[in-house]
Amino acid sequence: MKLPKFMNAVIMTAAITMGGSAVQAQQAGGSMVFLVQPEPPTMAGYVSTSGPIGLLGPKIYDGLFDYDNDGKMIPVLAESYDTSADGKTVTFNLRKGVTWHDGKPFTSADVQFTIMEVLKKVHPRGPNSFKEVSSIDTPDAHTAVFNLGNPAPYMLRALSAYESPMVPKHLLEGQDIKSAKLANNPVGTGPFKFTEWKKGQYIRLDKNESYWKEGRPYIDRIVGRFIPDASTRAAAMEKGEVLYAAYNAVSNVEAVRLNKEKDNISVTTDGYSMINPMALIEFNTKEGPFTDAVVRRAISTAIDRQYMIDTIFFGYGNPATSALSSNFAATGLHAEMPHYPATGDIAAANQMLDDAGYKKDSDGVRMKAMFDLIPYGEDWKRGGQYIQQVLGEIGIDVELRYEDVPTWLKRVYHNYDFDMNLNYFYQLSDPVLGVHRHYGTNMIRKGTHFVNSSRYSNADLDALLGAGMTEPDAEKRSAIYMEIQEILARDMPVVNLFELEFLTVYNTKLKGAYGSAMGAYSSFADAYLD
């Protein structure tokens, strides 16, 4: 595979000459190759929220709205919406003249079908997002009226192409949605059409010539490449073979190096605010050593969050200060709580355990525990090993367990056979969507992944979560979530560690791809090559 030196020179010259002509902005044409890691199982974003599907799906399917980096709603398939005074009716005015990639027109019937028959039934988070939607009326082809049981302000944060893609009724109706052929031959209304899937290598999407937005997309072709090895991915980025890598497809350490060493490679942490990933420890509150909230609070107090961010994630991240991400501060739903010190306080943690009567034995051990680690790679193993050392200092002797993904999921979310578990959750764009599932009694769902595995159950909290879900008034809602955060800072069934900041590494040749809060999970209709 090694090219002779002079060949490289020839290619380089050619590249420079071609690049030289691209002076005017927003030039159309070109191929955009980016990293998709790992290879997705299907492209059915309406059935799975899996990351790699999110990278490709929103380029093929549109949502009703998109969101800009300030969280403002940008019209996509819906041009506008109206909420009735009581908050129980939301009317969407749909864009006219939109067609599916197969030429059929997009109408309100598609919206009705997507929400009621697809997202509410088979989507992992749809049943939550559209819980209050009891029916959808379609007075004409371009109007969809959502009838809600209760006001559901959070629903308007879940309308992106990633979270709620609009799917064609005529290709899914009457079929088993989960096994429909559409999963591997996606037909959407988005800026790019699915063309080819070469298993193990790439997925190719081509420009949708009849896209509803005039003059878009700029790019002719998008190729999502699958490269299993991390160092090869970094090398592909370095050599300019791929132009875009999100969700840490290029590891932080390499990203920092490339950003520093290469003029044409940059990194950004934008594009993840609707995802809101939070690193955390889930505790088994029903059995084992962590049934007492004091111990859980002591652990939260001992861990040096900033140290973990600095050393394991190379400075990208923010220490958690409550059960909710600080990104919710914009909507008034976040406040700093006690027992979340940024730098850790071993002495205070020891004091808490001493006061609670947990005596150290002659080896300095108060209790033993098993610590499961999310099997997503070395970073998490390193994090676990750090926490193991810290807990040793406060007299908790933990053993680490690192298993394969299915075994781990079964252990934590089906058998509840764990003491403490290092993990991360997406808190998403609203606590209702991403956080309630972690704490509500109704979210103790044996066998469902990433819900309340702590089996924490508190009637007061349940009532507050219910109230927070339906409260339309921003100020009252803020007060409800203050109370929720206070309860969770006291009981701590889950200790939040830090808000992860995923990194997007990109070649500066790629422009216009950074305007959406959905980041890599956005359509790329406005992206162009310079």
Partner 1 sequence: MNSFWNRFSRNKSAVLGLFILGLVVFMASIAGLIYPDDPFLYSRFPLSGPGVNGFLLGSDSIGRDVASGIAHGAKTSLLIGLIATLAAVFIGVIFGAFAGYYGGLVDDVLMRITEVFQTIPSFVFAILLVAIMKPSIESVVIAITVVSWPAVARLVRGEFLALKNREFVQACHTLGMGDVRIMMAEILPNCLSPIIVIGSLMVATAILIESGLAFLGLGDPNVMSWGFQISDGRSMLRVAWWICTFPGIAILITVLAINLVGEGLNDALNPRLRERN
Which residues in this chain contact partner 1 in the complex, by CB under 8 A?
230-231, 251, 253-254, 257, 307, 310-312, 373, 377-378, 381-382, 384-386, 388-389, 392, 399-404, 407
Q: Which amino acid is at 45?
A: G
Cβ nearer to partner 1, comparing 307 with 416: 307
Beta partners for residue 140, in sequence order: 143
Are 244 and 513 a contacting pair, CB within 8 Å?
Answer: yes
Cβ nearer to partner 1, comparing 125 with 382: 382
How far apart are the C-alpha atoms of 321 and 399, rounded to whole Å? 27
How far apart are the C-alpha atoms of 328 and 119, rounded to whole Å? 25
Residues contacting residue 396 through CB under 8 Å, at least 6 positions apart: 289, 295, 299, 365, 366, 367, 368, 369
Cβ nearer to partner 1, comparing 378 with 473: 378
Closest approach of partner 1 to the CB of residue 268, in Å: 20
Closest approach of partner 1 to the CB of residue 54, in Å: 24
CA dist list (Å): 348 to 204, 308, 355, 358, 525: 55, 19, 10, 14, 52
Closest approach of partner 1 to the CB of residue 257, in Å: 6
How far apart are the C-alpha atoms of 374 and 458, rounded to whole Å? 26
Give the position of tokens 């979340």.
340
How far apart are the C-alpha atoms of 345 and 352, rounded to whole Å? 11
Cβ nearer to partner 1, comparing 18 with 405: 405
Closest approach of partner 1 to the CB of residue 190, in Å: 34
Closest approach of partner 1 to the CB of residue 387, in Å: 10
Written as six digits, the tokens of 144 are 């969809």
How far apart are the C-alpha atoms of 447 and 412, rounded to whole Å? 9
Cβ nearer to partner 1, comparing 219 with 302: 302
Cβ nearer to partner 1, comparing 94 with 396: 396
Closest approach of partner 1 to the CB of residue 314, in Å: 8
Sheet holding 192-198, edge to edge: 192-198, 202-207, 221-225, 31-35, 244-245, 504-507, 265-268
Closest approach of partner 1 to the CB of residue 396, in Å: 14
Cβ nearer to partner 1, comparing 94 with 390: 390
Cβ nearer to partner 1, comparing 19 with 392: 392
**359: number of Cβ within 10 Å:** 9
Cβ nearer to partner 1, comparing 38 with 392: 392
Are 81 and 90 a contacting pair, CB within 8 Å?
Answer: yes
Written as six digits, the tokens of 428 are 């998403």
How far apart are the C-alpha atoms of 509 and 265, rounded to whole Å? 9
Closest approach of partner 1 to the CB of residue 359, in Å: 23
Side-chain half-sphere exposure of 366, counting CA atoms within 13 A: 22
Written as six digits, the tokens of 36 are 């998709």
Closest approach of partner 1 to the CB of residue 513, in Å: 26
Closest approach of partner 1 to the CB of residue 410, in Å: 12
Task: Find, among 310, 315, 309, 314, the residue nearest to 278 by Cα.
Answer: 309
**269: number of Cβ within 10 Å:** 14
Cβ nearer to partner 1, comparing 209 with 404: 404
